[in-house]
């Protein structure tokens, strides 16, 4: 496909996403099935174009003066790739499968359009209905935080210390340009290509042999801050695909016991192969069963209960840019209810003197500090673990600058820490 044909296809795919209100991944997959002539490089380039357009949908539409798929894609070429109006015009010739030529208005807007007078949600590329929440969370930094969330995310890897040191893993991935992450002592970061694509690990021996796992640096830090101790009894209550479960197992050097479960059994599916690849031996997966409490024997017996709570995922917008435009106020209300429920469930399994670590990939106070405050008001036998004590237990005192400004816990974000957005708080039972 020519560059112009790719742009036309991106406009078509974006129109499908907008019309059918569907995830971008589904629209991209269907387009690929219907256009089998497109090779793997074409499909990867298309995905980058579509995701770039979704990252800056609001600002791109403002620049061009329309909210059409064509306007958003054209505006994103300027905003995300720094192309000039002339360079964009050279791609839109109307010849072959390229988009029709730029109109005089489009060319003028792409040349002179600016965001100076745009409202904060447009300049920060986040939904208008979340503006009050962003203002409450970030104050004057709301736009900057939004723009950081709209940037492309790097490929972060966690070194599996059961099999390798960071130095060994970095050497194995040197051809990909892997470098140590600045905050996590276990992380490696692989830079994106010039067109914004991540390196493929499908054929990398270091990945296939379990030396590394894909995990954002922020997620790595969240697992480290849980500070599991070898020999402890640990419950990962919302394990999902098992990223943090694997990190906990490595930190415990395969000693003690980790119980991994999730409300949705299907989410646990990938965990089995990952456990085998990582040579993890201290994890027991407990699949939920209708009408049965598969965790009954753990009530009041766990040294550590990890809650990676369901949330709006505002902190992961770099990796899921379409999610921020599909989320609705009703979804936030539902997540708040689910977070209260999972915290109440988690409390059952914490033994006296044990710890509960609450994590979200959200940056909204309603899902973070407010949920912790509400929990502590109901459960007087729990108290917050101060940020200083949390960091000391994990051996990460240098993260003190990320202590949450709204109360207990730590907050990471693309703008402040260069990671995905995370909130981490610790609670201890009397």
Do residues 363 and 416 share a domain? Answer: yes
Stretch 69-77: mean pLDDT: 97
Do residues 210 and 224 share a domain? Answer: no
pLDDT the model gives residue 290: 85
Do residues 252 and 379 share a domain? Answer: yes
Of the three residues 214, 237, 252, the one that is the final residue of a domain is 214
Do residues 183 and 230 share a domain? Answer: no
Which whole-number Å values give the CA distances from 16 to 2, 102, 204, 219, in the listed order?
A: 21, 22, 34, 32
Q: At what angle do helices 24-34 and 40-55 cross, to 10 degrees?
A: 150
- Of 227-241, 354-368, 402-416, the range with the lowest mean pLDDT is 402-416
Q: Which residue has the higher pLDDT, 167 or 405?
A: 167
128 belongs to a structural domain:
no
Do residues 222 and 103 share a domain? Answer: no
Rg (CA), the chain: 23
pLDDT tens for each residue of 300-322: 999 999 999 999 999 999 999 99
pLDDT tens for each residue of 328-368: 888 999 999 999 999 999 999 999 999 999 999 999 999 99
Do residues 172 and 45 share a domain? Answer: no
Domain that holds residue 85: 3-116
What token pair was written down for 178?
A: 């892997």
CB 250 within 8 A of CB 160: yes
Partners of 190 in the β-ladder: 155
- At 37, the pLDDT band (50, 70, 90 cuts) reads confident
pLDDT the model gives residue 291: 80
69 belongs to a structural domain:
yes
What token pair was written down for 219?
A: 């997620």
Do residues 293 and 160 share a domain? Answer: no
Do residues 362 and 425 share a domain? Answer: yes
Q: What is the largest CA-CA distance in the chain?
A: 72
Q: One of 238, 302, 311, 361 is an active-site residue; which one?
A: 361
CB 135 within 8 A of CB 114: no
Of the three residues 94, 116, 138, the one that is the final residue of a domain is 116
How many residues are recorded in the chain?
430
pLDDT at 323 over 90: yes
Do residues 342 and 249 share a domain? Answer: yes
**CA–CA separation, 419 vs 402, rounded Å?**
12
Do residues 200 and 221 share a domain? Answer: no
pLDDT at 407 over 80: no
pLDDT at 24 over 80: yes
pLDDT tens for each residue of 246-302: 999 999 999 999 999 999 999 999 999 999 999 999 999 999 988 889 999 999 999
Which whole-number Å values give the CA distances from 113 to 60, 88, 378, in the listed order?
A: 10, 14, 52
Total domains, the chain: 3
408 belongs to a structural domain:
yes
Question: If residue 354 lies in a helix (H) or strand (E), which one and from where to where?
Answer: strand 350-360
User: How many C-beta neighbours within 10 Å does residue 5 have?
Assistant: 17
Of the three residues 91, 116, 141, the one that is the final residue of a domain is 116
As a whole number, the mean pLDDT across the chain is: 95
Task: Indicate the pairing of strand 410-412 with strand 422-429.
Answer: antiparallel
CATH of the domain at 318: 3.40.50.150
253: annotated binding-site residue? no
308: annotated binding-site residue? yes
132 belongs to a structural domain:
no
pLDDT at 406 over 80: no
CATH of the domain at 185: 3.30.70.1170
Do residues 244 and 373 share a domain? Answer: yes
377 belongs to a structural domain:
yes
**pTM exceeds 0.75:** yes
56 is catalytic: no
% of the chain exceeding 70 in pLDDT? 100
CB 258 within 8 A of CB 248: yes
pLDDT at 199 over 90: no
148 belongs to a structural domain:
no
pLDDT the model gives residue 36: 86
% of the chain exceeding 90 in pLDDT? 90
Contact partners, residue 192, CB within 8 Å, separation at least 6: 152, 154, 155, 198
Do residues 248 and 340 share a domain? Answer: yes
Which of 339, 344, 332 lies closest to 309, judged by CA?
339
What token pair was written down for 8?
A: 């036309």
pLDDT tens for each residue of 157-185: 999 999 999 999 999 999 999 999 999 99
């Amino acid at each position: 496909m020519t560059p112009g044909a790719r742009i036309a296809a991106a406009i078509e795919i974006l129109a499908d996403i907008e019309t059918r209100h569907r995830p971008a991944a589904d629209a991209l997959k269907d387009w690929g099935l219907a256009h089998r002539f497109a090779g793997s490089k074409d499909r990867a380039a298309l995905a980058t174009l579509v995701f770039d357009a979704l990252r800056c949908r609001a600002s791109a539409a403002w620049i061009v003066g329309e909210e059409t798929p064509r306007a958003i894609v054209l505006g994103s070429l300027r905003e995300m790739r720094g192309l000039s109006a002339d360079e964009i015009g050279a791609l839109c010739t109307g010849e072959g499968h390229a988009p029709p030529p730029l109109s005089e208005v489009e060319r003028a807007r792409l040349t002179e359009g600016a965001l100076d007078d745009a409202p904060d949600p447009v300049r920060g590329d986040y939904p208008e209905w979340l503006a009050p929440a962003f203002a409450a969370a970030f104050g004057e930094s709301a736009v900057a935080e939004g723009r950081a969330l709209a940037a492309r995310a790097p490929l972060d890897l966690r070194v599996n210390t059961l099999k390798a040191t960071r130095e060994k893993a970095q050497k194995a991935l040197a051809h990909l340009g892997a470098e140590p992450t600045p905050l996590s002592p276990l992380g490696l970061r692989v830079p994106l290509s010039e067109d914004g694509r991540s390196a493929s690990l499908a054929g990398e021996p270091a990945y296939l042999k379990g030396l590394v796992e894909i995990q954002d640096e922020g997620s790595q830090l969240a697992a480290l801050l849980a500070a599991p101790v070898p020999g402890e009894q640990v419950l990962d209550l919302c394990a999902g695909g098992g990223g943090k479960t694997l990190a906990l197992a490595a930190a415990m050097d395969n000693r003690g016991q980790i119980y991994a479960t999730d409300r949705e059994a299907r989410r646990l599916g990938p965990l089995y192969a990952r456990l085998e690849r990582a040579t993890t031996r201290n994890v027991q997966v407990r699949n939920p069963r209708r009408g049965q409490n598969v965790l009954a024997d753990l009530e009041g017996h766990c040294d550590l209960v990890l809650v990676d709570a369901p949330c709006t995922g505002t902190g992961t917008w770099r990796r899921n840019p379409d999610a921020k435009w599909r989320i609705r106020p009703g979804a936030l209300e539902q997540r708040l209810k689910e977070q209260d429920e999972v915290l109440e469930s988690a409390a059952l399994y914490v033994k006296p003197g044990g710890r509960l670590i609450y994590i979200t990939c959200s940056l909204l106070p309603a899902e973070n500090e407010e949920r912790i405050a509400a929990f502590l008001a109901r459960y007087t036998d729990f108290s917050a673990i101060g940020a200083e004590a949390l960091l000391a237990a994990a051996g990460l005192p240098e993260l003190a600058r990320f202590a949450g400004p709204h109360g207990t816990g730590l907050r990471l974000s693309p703008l402040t820490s260069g990671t995905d957005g995370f909130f981490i708080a610790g609670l201890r039972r009397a």
